[in-house]
Amino acid sequence: VVDRVRFLGRLGRLPGDSVIHRGSLTDFLPLTTSLLLSVLLSVLFLMYNRR
């Protein structure tokens, strides 16, 4: 399904998502992706509950 929807392929690599490399440790901070998914899910639940 993800391959069929181009937008979903960019999740996790949006501007604002950070990758920090320190030696052998890599931290990934998907800030923009988390915010976008939170807003999207909130809108979907709001629309579902209004029925």
Which sequence spans correspond to the domains of the chain? 6-49
Residue type, 20: I
Distance (Å, whole) CA 15 – CA 17: 6
d(CA 2, CA 37): 15
The proportion of the chain whose per-residue pLDDT surpasses 70, expressed as a percent, equals 76
Strand, coil or helix: what is 26? strand
> Higher pLDDT residue, 13 or 48?
48
Does residue 50 carry a pLDDT above 80?
yes
21-34, pLDDT tens digit by residue? 999 999 988 898 88
Quote the DSSP letter at residue 30: -
The mean of the pLDDT values for the chain is 83
Q: What pLDDT sits at residue 2?
A: 47
